[in-house]
Amino acid sequence: MEKGTLFLIPVPLAENAADKSFTAYLGDTINSLTTYIVENEKTARKFLKEAGIKTPQADLVIHDYGKHKRNDSMVPYFKELMTGKDVGLMSEAGCPGVADPGAEVVSEAHKRGIKVVPLVGPSALLLALMASGFNGQSFTFHGYLPIDKVERVKRIKELEQLAQQNKQTQMFIETPFRNNHMFEDILKNTAAQTLLCVASNITSEDEYIKTMSVGQWRQERIDLHKKPTIFLLYRS
């Protein structure tokens, strides 16, 4: 029996960013699908509505792979795909599988010989890198740095060294309510000439993206509290 295709469907990164986020092809694709694997059902249904789904929501089959379900069997998610039906995978924000638990679903799809098709849409990491002015040929995303302050400071210094030695962009994030602490730790523990890009609330109406040396940032006052932010370090 022929298997279905798994479509990886990006979702907006911010409120009121639907127009910036959707392509016509994405709209066509969601209207050809009736089954979805999603990180959060409520958010997913809202997104599908914004994207212009014409299928009545009551007719959709939605598999939730939220954090409480991630250790469960993968089998139920693949029932439709294994019987020839196409399925869409959506995360909470941005691109499925990139800094996102959806990667586990994609990995399982490959193991089962299922075709995987990524669709074009907003990735906060790539948008931040594009706007930073840093090296886009060589870069590393480290995810979250340690919570322990001593460990975190040590890690920031290591990333600054990597940026200088390898001429490589170092990217990382923090839980939004700890952003201001992270920002302060970077300013206190890196050299004045190291470059820092702060990319916050990407694609939202109050998007903020700025690159300066750490020395210049020390003169600046910004509030990143509860704003999704990517930090990028570089030494040219």
Q: Is 125 in contact with 134 (CB distance < 8 Å)?
A: no
3-state secondary structure of 199: strand
Contact by Cβ (8 Å): 92, 39: yes
124-234 is classed CATH 3.30.460.10 = no
HSE-CB of 236 using CA atoms within 13 angstroms:
11
> Any idea where the domains of the chain sit in the sequence?
5-118, 124-234
Specify the pLDDT at position 70: 61
pLDDT at 213: 98
34: tokens are 């009736």
Tell me the C-alpha distance between 169 and 195, whole Å. Answer: 10
> Which distant-in-sequence residues (6+ apart) come within 8 Å of 127 by Cβ?
199, 202, 203
Mark out the alpha helices in the chain (DSSP H runs): 18-21, 24-30, 41-50, 79-82, 103-111, 124-132, 149-166, 179-189, 214-217
Which DSSP state fits 97? Answer: T
- From 98, 122, 128, select the one nearest 199 (Cα to Cα): 128
What length does the chain have? 236
Q: Which pLDDT does position 191 carry in this prediction?
A: 98
Q: Would you write out the chain's pLDDT as a tens digit for each of its 236 residues?
A: 899 999 999 999 998 898 888 899 999 999 999 999 999 999 999 999 999 999 999 999 999 987 666 667 888 899 999 999 999 999 988 999 998 889 999 999 999 999 999 999 999 999 999 999 999 999 999 999 999 999 999 999 999 999 999 999 999 999 999 999 999 999 999 999 999 999 999 999 999 999 999 999 999 999 999 999 999 999 98
Q: What is the pLDDT of residue 93?
A: 85
pTM of model > 0.85: yes
The arrangement of secondary structure in 5-118, i.e. its CATH architecture, is 3-Layer(aba) Sandwich (3.40)
